Structure formats: C-alpha cells, structure tokens
Amino acid sequence: MGALPERRPGVASPVVPVHVGIIMDGNGRWAAGRGLPRAMGHRAGAEATRRVIEAAAEAGVRWLTLFAFSSENWRRPASEVLELTGLLRHYLRHEVSQLVRDGVRLRVVGDRERFGVETAAEIERAERLTADGQRLNLNIALSYGARAEIAAAARAIAREAAAGRLDAASVDEALVERHLATRDMPDPDLIIRTSGEQRLSNFLLWQSAYAELVFTDVLWPDFDARHFTAALSEFARRERRYGGACVV
C-alpha cells in the first residue's frame, strides 16, 4: 500500500460520513469471469482494499469498517479458506508498517481466535503497533456475524443480571451497545455493498439501524477511488431523518 495522500488545504468538502462500512463482495465472480481461480479474485480484492483505504483517508472519513470474512465464510471449501487466511497473515505482516506511517489505526472485530494462535498473535501485534494512528480508524470484520454479536451481548447482560450487578429493568439500548464489539465506535453513516447484491448479510445489523445504504454493481476487485467517491456523493444527497426532521 502506498503512502496516503494528504488532504488538500482550502478545498471545501461535501458532507462526508464519519463512518463508512463496506461489504466487499464479488471476488469469486470477478475471477470466474476471467477464467481465473477464485484465489486470484481474492488477491485482486486485496488490491482494491488498499485503494479504498487511501480513498477514505483522502476524503476525510474517520472510520472505515471492511467486512472481510463472515462467520458463514467458514463453510466455504477448505482450500479457499486457507487462501483467505494466508492473505490475511500476509497483510498483517507486510502492510502494518505502512499503516503506521500513514496514521491508520487497525482493529479487528470478530472471533479472531478461530483463525488459530499464529494469526491471532499477528492481529494483536498489528493492533498494538498501529494503536497511535489518528488519521483513519480501520476496522476489519473477521469471522464476524452481527447476530452472534448481539447474542453474545445478551448473554453478557444476562450474566450480570443473574449475578445481581444490574437490574433487568435497566436494560436499554445504551446498555446493549456497551456490550457490543463496536462499543467504542460511532455507528456507520453509510454502508456500501459491491457486486449488485442488495442485502446486509449479517453485517453490523444493530449499528446500521439508520445508516444510508448504497449498492453498486461493481465487483469488489474493480472498485476504486472513483466508485468510493460516487458513493460518498450519493450519501451527501440523502436527507437523513432518523424517523424525524431532516438532519443536514
């Protein structure tokens, strides 16, 4: 990943979402359309990830969450899972130094332990080394499922109630949010999904209650700064009402 470009001073910006989530879809179809193995699609998708991180930082987005590997992806063929986890380890080992230079803080959301001791240690190392980054908060959702996240929060709250540490009547939305994996992050303002599919696929279901949704037919390996900017422009045209008056 190359160095992130500096924002140009003195240039007026449109309404920019604070937090963007992206469901990165279409690697397999991109490869199939070119007669290539799926692994080549995932590698091309990794290049698209680099481009979008740069585009997000350039646009002034403060939080970027990428849905890289869902809890359901473990059902894929073992060879494909092996390729994906290998790409993850390569990224963690070889890209972190650039993230540090670019002021990007990396965090992983999901069941990291399922990837094994070696990969979990690489994740912890990357998070530690990038902890001081202040330009962009980059969250990677790995072995993540929103329903499982909400269920885990419910179990934690139930344990506290059973232990007498809280009154069940005090459980509200704020309490649930404090038990989610994203508890110290703002909710996403914008969710982008590539490849033409128009669903959330168990991604940030609680957090996306009022997010704007943008769907594009572009396959993830072809997604670049132009497409990201187009999604931000679409977001800027939306009127965000939150069930009430328009929020400008």
Q: Is residue 10 included in any domain, yes or no?
A: no
Q: What domain range is 119 assigned to? A: 19-144+187-236
- DSSP assignment string, 72-83: GGGGS-HHHHHH
Tell me: the pLDDT tens digits for 223-235?
999 999 999 999 9
CB-count exposure of residue 195 (10 Å: 0-12, 13-18, 19+)? buried
* Residue 111 annotated among the catalytic residues of the structure: no
Q: Is residue 68 included in any domain, yes or no?
A: yes
Please tell me whether 200 is known to bind a ligand: yes
Check residue 173 and give its pLDDT. 96
Q: Which of 25, 102, 111, 189 is catalytic?
A: 25
Q: Is residue 226 included in any domain, yes or no?
A: yes
Query: Which residues, given as ranges, of the chain have pLDDT below 70?
Result: 1-14, 244-248
Q: Is residue 163 included in any domain, yes or no?
A: no
Q: Is residue 243 included in any domain, yes or no?
A: no
Please tell me whether 195 is known to bind a ligand: no
Please tell me whether 74 is known to bind a ligand: yes
Output the domain CATH number for residue 91.
Answer: 3.40.1180.10
104-109 sheet: strands from edge to edge: 104-109, 136-144, 63-70, 19-23, 190-193, 212-215
Structural domains of the chain, count: 1
Q: Is residue 173 included in any domain, yes or no?
A: no
Check residue 11 and give its pLDDT. 35
Q: Is residue 70 included in any domain, yes or no?
A: yes
Between CA 203 and CA 144 the distance in angstroms is 8
Please tell me whether 13 is known to bind a ligand: no
Q: Is residue 248 included in any domain, yes or no?
A: no
